[in-house]
Chains A and B, each alone.
Chain A
Amino acid sequence: MRMRCAILGSGNIGTDLMMKLLKGTDASGSGQTPLEVVALVGIDPASDGLARAKTHGIEGPHEGPQWILDHADDIDMLFDATSAYVHVRHYKQYAEAGIVAVDLTPAARGPKVIAAVNLTEHLDAPNINMVTCGGQATTPMVYAVRRAVESLPYAEMVSTVSSKSAGPGTRQNIDEFTKTTSTALREIGGADLSKAIIILNPAEPPIMMRNTVFAGLPEGTDHDAVLASVYAMETDVQHYVPGYRLKNPPVIEEGPFHTPGGTVPHRAVVLLEVEGAGDYLPPYAGNLDIMTAAAQRVGEAIATHKAGVSA
């Protein structure tokens, strides 16, 4: 039995996720998705996303979170692509209504999941937080470095997205973005201390999403092992985001670097680019893709898990 999903938020992210789920294939593109979209729910009846939903024969109401709560019996899972503030206001009601919430905002109410790192860790949680697009892109690489070293005193990420792909939610939530991302670099990436930075670039034509990971490497680190682990992680993420790639070979630079976690002799620099699949916005919007692809993968993992439990 397929899991009935509603997507809340008819902006860039919500609409991109709907387009992905409507393909019918799963996140890896190799099987069938166990997720069935029943509605894309917005607040603006004139939004492009809702119009698209209707063209595809999907319900496109504009009553926002209330519509979800009114239709709780017909919805098993909610993908929340609104904003951190809206999610914080309603997440308890979703849980009380028995709807599993996959939260694509940086509200960080539920446990954080990075699809390539801890996909199966919280399959029974009523609320899963997908961190941020930058977090989905860079936490895997911080984790890749961490698993190859004795300790990771400090890691940092810089995410640059095209201005066109950053909607009002991202723009009003910029502190939540950096805080939630930074927390993920520690909690899931395994760094002791961390920092996250986001930059918007208005260049025309729009730039592809770029992410850079810096990781402080303590004395005695096996640099080849770090590089090999980074390459292996690239392949893992490509499994569900085909446009995810190392833009240049990862490098180890010589310091010393006086990080907040102490002085380290070297740092790893991982330069990433994310090209989107072009499901809704054009391929430059890799930031949408990595978020929606990761959310789809998590939703599918939950659906498969629940089907297994009830069978």
Chain B
Amino acid sequence: MTTTATDYRLIDSTLRDGSHAISHQYHDEDVIAIVKGLDAAGVQVIEIAHGDGLGGSSFNYGFSAVPEKELIAKACEVTTNAKIACLLLPGIGLADDLREVSEMGVSVARIAVHCTEADITEQHIKVAKGLGMEAIGFLMMAHMNTPEGLVEQALLMQSYGADTIYIADSAGAMTTEDVKVRVNALVQALDVPLGVHAHNNLAMAVSNSIAAFQEGARNLDGTSAGLGAGAGNCPTEILAAVSDKYGISTGVDALKLMDLAEEVVRPLMPRQQVIDRAGLILGYAGVYGSFLLHAERAANRYNVSQAEILLELGRRQVVGGQEDMIIDVALELAAKHAAQEEQA
């Protein structure tokens, strides 16, 4: 497909952010089917990696069933038009990982960081640029910083050479107003395009994405069937359908994306992406979405409430990557309950 003018660029993260919801258990055949489906539907960029980015396979975040680089190689092999992207969190993945995947054909590197720590991305943005990749600076948990604060951080990334800046509502905690003021401030301040990555914990993902576009964001993220951390991401097929209704040109075929979601992705899902109590609490308390399943496991293991764990994590202002604190909180809650029982 040649470059038909579209109003925004769609980046699908089913094979990266979606990985959280299936505890990083993707296999070759899933990657092949999903890449083929997205590519055929005209999606411009397909992101693939462990849910926590390159090098994320670990005790802390869960081990991948198949080494991510095998899956990435497969995606690069199968795609015809769509670019393959990866995500990397400095402190978890290494610049060496970027070198390796660039060699395989990955041409977009999203360098992700908590929304106040942009200066740790300099090394990795520069390496990505040096490899000839498109570098996207990705500011996570954007609800935890003010519009002015985000502008300051985004300008740093722009100064390191980032081609695009993204803000991610990683906790699915933003209202439409929250999104608008942030996007507006960033679009005014930046020379490079802006993108928005939304989660659905407050049932706002699609409407917030459309609002972001209307305020000037020119990149939007989705995942097929909303597969992803927390109550899920902005569902790619719904975003495409709603964009059509608005007359916003996406260059993707919404019906083909619906087929992919229904026939390929839903059958893979251990459970449908619904906004249950735990999912809603993530958005309500502003907690990193990928904590959801880890908190469920810790709650079962130590016989404490998942909701209580998530609320305490919100109080402690933990950031993405601090999954170890889930065990810490669960142990403290269990000790507190034991002490209370002893008193009674």
Contact = CB atoms under 8 A, between A and B. Distances in A.
Contacts of B119: 168, 171
B321 interface: yes
A74 interface: no
B155 interface: no
Contact of B114 (A168, A202, A271): A202
Contacts of A214: 59-60, 324
Contacts of A267: 59
A200 B120 contact: yes
B262 interface: no
A160 B317 CA distance: 13
A158 B60 contact: yes
B316 A203 contact: yes
A260 B335 CA distance: 32
B328 A175 contact: no
Interface string A238-259: 0000000001110101100111
B318 A201 contact: yes
B319 interface: yes
Indicate the member of B57, B91, B114, B317 with the most A CB atoms within 10 Å. B91
A135 B122 CA distance: 23
B91 A178 contact: yes
Contacts of A200: 91, 114, 117, 120, 319
Contact of A156 (B58, B91, B327): B58
B305 interface: no
A225 B120 CA distance: 40
A271 B117 contact: no
Contact of A271 (B55, B321, B324): B324
A115 interface: no
Given A202-B114, A257-B63, A259-B63, A197 B123 contact: no
A175 B94 contact: yes
Contacts, number: 107
B322 interface: yes
Contacts of A248: 328, 331-332, 335
Contact of B60 (A171, A197, A210, A260): A197
A175 B123 contact: yes
A212 B122 CA distance: 27
B79 interface: no
Interface string B83-96: 00000001110111
A198 interface: yes
B301 interface: yes
A154 B119 CA distance: 31
A199 B320 CA distance: 8
Contacts of A249: 331
A151 interface: no
B325 interface: yes
A211 to B, nearest CB: 9
A201 B288 CA distance: 13
A172 interface: yes
B175 interface: no
Given A174-B120, A175-B90, A201 B59 contact: no
A269 interface: yes
A254 B96 CA distance: 33
The binding surface of chain A is classed by DSSP as: strand
B116 A172 contact: no
Contacts of A253: 301, 327
Given A203-B317, A212-B324, A174 B91 contact: yes
A200 B322 CA distance: 9
Contacts of B95: 175
Interface string B196-216: 000000000000000000000
Given A200-B114, A202-B117, A271-B331, A172 B122 contact: yes
Contacts of A254: 301
B94 A178 contact: yes
A199 B319 contact: yes
Contact of A199 (B57, B91, B94, B316): B91
Interface in B34-76: 55, 57-60, 63, 65
Interface string A211-251: 01010100000000000000000000000000000011101
Contacts of A258: 63, 65
A197 B316 contact: no
Contacts of B325: 160, 210
A199 B59 contact: no
A178 B324 CA distance: 17
A256 B47 CA distance: 29
A177 B93 CA distance: 12
Interface string B15-28: 00000000000000
A4 interface: no
Contacts of A178: 91-92, 94
B116 A163 contact: yes
B332 A199 contact: no
Given A200-B319, A202-B117, A210-B324, 15 more contacts: A174-B91, A174-B120, A175-B95, A175-B123, A199-B91, A203-B316, A212-B324, A214-B324, A249-B331, A253-B327, A257-B59, A258-B63, A258-B65, A269-B327, A271-B327
18 contacts: A172-B122, A174-B90, A174-B120, A197-B321, A199-B114, A199-B320, A200-B114, A200-B319, A201-B114, A201-B322, A202-B117, A203-B319, A207-B316, A212-B328, A214-B60, A249-B331, A260-B63, A267-B59
* Leading 7 A-B pairs by shortest Cβ distance: A212-B324, A214-B59, A203-B317, A199-B321, A248-B331, A202-B116, A198-B91
